Structure 1
Amino acid sequence: MIKVSVDEEALQEIYREEVRKKLEKASKDLVFWDTAELKRRTCMSWNTIQNTFFFDTRFEKFKLGGKWYFPAEQAEAFLLSWFDEQKQSGKRRNMA
């Protein structure tokens, strides 16, 4: 008779790590975002996006037909940078 003993905690950690890797890969699989994906990723409405960063010249975008597209890697990098800028300007306003 063979007995197998499994460390449940270690197994859960391996499972979590593999799920994290799959989610990260799925996130990187997109080459372009459309407006729906941009709204989902930022948790902002289309009006808020347009009123905050959409017209920033650093934000890469192009329109194909009637639909906007955003290069995924550049959009993510811009948004992280833009968010840091907003945090910094908010700190400066709070100190004044």
Structure 2
Amino acid sequence: MLEVQVDEEAIKEMYHDAIEKRMEKFDTELVYWDTKELKKRTCMSWNTILNNFFYENDFPKIKVGGKWYFPAKETKIFLNKWLLQLK
């Protein structure tokens, strides 16, 4: 008879690592966010974004035509600093 033992913690860790790597790859694929992506990433409405940090001088944004774009890497850095300042 064949008996198989599975280390559930090791499988959970491998699964978590695989998801994290995939998310990092996805993040690096996006150079810019648009307003839809910014709202999705912050879990905020457009009005909340406008009222809280959009008009801050160091918030990275670029308007091309009638559409706003946000450099993904710089925006993530800004948002992390901004959130920590709210403490």
| Shorter-chain TM-score tier | 0.7 to 0.9
**Alpha-carbon offset, residue 13 of structure 1:** 2.4
Amino acid across the alignment from 1:34:
D
Q: Name the residue aligned to 1:71.
A: 71
Task: Structure 1 unaligned segments of length 5 or more: list them.
Answer: 88-96
Structure with larger RCO (C-alpha < 8 A, sep 6+): 2
Instruction: Using the aligned pairs only, state the percent identity.
Output: 49
Q: Name the residue aligned to 1:94.
A: none
State the distance in 2 between where 1:28 and 1:11 align. 26
Task: Structure 2 unaligned segments of length 5 or more: list them.
Answer: none
State the distance in 2 between where 1:73 and 1:26 align. 12
TM-score computed with the length of structure 1 as normaliser: 0.78
TM-score computed with the length of structure 2 as normaliser: 0.86
**Match status 1:22 vs 2:14:** no
Q: Name the residue aligned to 1:35.
A: 35
1:42-57 equivalence runs, <5 A:
42-57=42-57
CA RMSD across the alignment? 1.8
| Structure 1 consecutive aligned stretches of length 4 or more whose deviation exceeds 2 Å | 3-8, 10-13
Aligned length: 86
